[in-house]
Amino acid sequence: MTLADWTPLTFEPAPVLEGTATRLERLSGDHADALDAANRADDAMWAYLPYGPFADREAYRDWVAEAAASSDPIFYAIRGEDGWAGVASYLRVDRANGVIEIGHIAMSAALQRTRAATEAIHLMIAQAFAAGFRRVEWKCDAANGPSLAAARRYGFGYDGTFRQHMVVKGRNRDTAWFAILDGDWPRLCKVHRAWLDADNFDAAGRQARSLSVMVAEAAGATVA
């Protein structure tokens, strides 16, 4: 593949990403207390992250201040139905080659497995491709079953596993790599939007069809 016309990107993430079920804002100290309160429902959310759980609110405020000042990773706060309840970031932002990763995903128990959580990641993927990135990556501990499932649910393709890639919290981490390419995104974006559509949910917010099934069907896979 020749890329004679390729030029490095001048990407600066939007300060706000607005969806139907969620709103993302660039992380700031204003979000810290609400996020800390949401996070305290379940320490298990920190199991595969290199930091957390935090001893107290002041410790989390300190982490937010550091994260908000970072230029890479670039953090967003995520609002769910009950308020600010999670964060996610862009990292390893490679404007020269058009590659970007979504990671540092820390969603509280109240936000996990919700329409807002799915839409938040969708909005971040969509922003990256709209800015001209060629590849959006997702990496996780190969032992982190929920994150592996989430990557596949969004339509990220598996690229392989880097064995003995890191030492995290005193244990080995093999890192599974996934990616969506710009050529994949128009199809996946259409599927994501169909899943997010209000017609896919009943009055209690239950989905009619799962995103995993819809992504698999769009790829031509046979779903039992």
pLDDT at site 206: 92
Determine if the pTM surpasses 0.85.
Answer: yes
Regarding beta strands 157-168 and 99-107, do their DSSP bridges make them parallel or antiparallel, or are they unpaired?
Answer: unpaired
Q: Please tell me the distance from the alpha carbon of residue 155 to that of residue 118, in angstroms, as a whole number.
A: 12
Q: Please tell me the distance from the alpha carbon of residue 34 to that of residue 110, in angstroms, as a whole number.
A: 12
Q: Please tell me the distance from the alpha carbon of residue 75 to that of residue 208, in angstroms, as a whole number.
A: 32
DSSP 31-60: GHHHHHHHHTT-GGGGTTSSS---SSHHHH
pLDDT at site 219: 86
* Distance from the first to the final alpha carbon of the chain: 36
* Contact assessment for residue 175 and residue 159, using Cβ atoms and an 8 Å cutoff: no
**Residue-wise pLDDT tens for the chain (224 aa)?**
788 899 999 999 999 999 999 999 999 999 999 999 999 999 999 999 999 999 999 999 999 999 999 999 999 999 999 999 999 999 999 999 999 999 999 999 999 999 999 999 999 999 999 999 999 999 999 999 999 999 999 999 999 999 999 999 999 999 999 999 999 999 999 999 999 999 999 998 899 999 999 999 998 865 55
The domains of the chain, with CATH numbers, are 16-182 (3.40.630.30)
Q: Please tell me the distance from the alpha carbon of residue 63 to that of residue 19, in angstroms, as a whole number.
A: 27
